[in-house]
Structure 1
Amino acid sequence: MTSAAMELQKAVFAVLSADAGLLAKLGEARIYDHAPARAEFPYLTFGRSTVRDWSTDSEEGREHLLTIHVWSKARGRGETLELLDIVRSALADVEPALDGHHLVNLRAEFEEARFDDDFGVYHGLLRFRAVTEPAS
């Protein structure tokens, strides 16, 4: 059985890669685990993934914190905020299948948009919390 964290990332990637509004805004499916050198802007990357035990006395479970980053070179933060909104909407109320695991819930918890002086780009962060349990 593959890890619940890997299955969750694969499912999120599949949902985002199939979202017509997101693809239109990005220009194509520029969604990366690790962005290639000289990636065309705007694009998304998967960031930090944290997994904690969320088991009860009778059920096994995992709590996941998954971060998606938005990178934009547009003037102003408008494109970054729009992309954050599209990603949050695309993942709202989805129940993708996870191989060997069941997704109990997935919800957005935190969102931030800022200018990154070091790279000269707008950087958005969107953190999700999910709970998974082994498939029956």
Structure 2
Amino acid sequence: MSALLNIQLALEQTLKDDAALMSKITGVYDHVPPDANYPYVVIGEATEEPLNTFAQGGMQVLAVIRIMSGALGYNECFDILKTVNDCLNQQPLVVDQYETISSVYQNAETVVEEPTDARQVQAIYRIVVQKVES
């Protein structure tokens, strides 16, 4: 059974619930509306692989969080990344039907969006969950 949807929803809710983050951005999106204003955060792509131990269903997910900014340079993105890390890196993530074993910031990459020159930081988080027996 895939944990992708549950983790995506947990990431989105965790970020939306953080007042410090929401004071810096205009929204957290799965699908960015055409009229969205910068800066904002996007729950991006994810890769999942089974990580079963002792006959219990576990999953390891690499989840991409995209930080989008219209500012010149990356300072705004880096400031938002720090706040996203405060929310997700080594913090308990509440994932429906799963126990979170770990949520760890893995790396980030900077990107310039053409032709708009918008700045983007793609942060990757490694999330390990184990299915809760009901």
Alpha-carbon contact 1:47-1:68 (below 8 Å) kept: yes
User: What is the letter of the counterpart of residue 90 of structure 1?
Assistant: C
- Structure 2, unaligned runs of 5 or more: none
Q: Name the counterpart of 2:10.
A: 11
Correspondence list, 1:1-136, <5 A: 3-26=2-25, 28=26, 30-56=27-53, 58-136=55-133
How many residues were matched structurally? 133
Unaligned regions of 5+ residues in structure 1, if any? none
1:35-82: CA deviation from partner (whole Å, max 9, x where unpaired): 011311111111111110111353321110100001101121100111
Instruction: Note if contact 2:16-2:22 (Cα within 8 Å) is conserved in structure 1.
Output: yes
Contact preservation (8 Å) 1:111, 1:124? yes
Give me the TM-score of the superposition, normalised by structure 2: 0.90
Identity rate, percent: 25
Return the TM-score normalized by structure 1: 0.89
Q: 1:36 corresponds to which letter in structure 2?
A: P
Look up the equivalent residue of 1:135 and give its one-letter code. Answer: V
Coordinate RMSD, CA, aligned: 1.6
Query: For 1:83 and 1:103, how far apart are their aligned partners in 2?
Result: 24
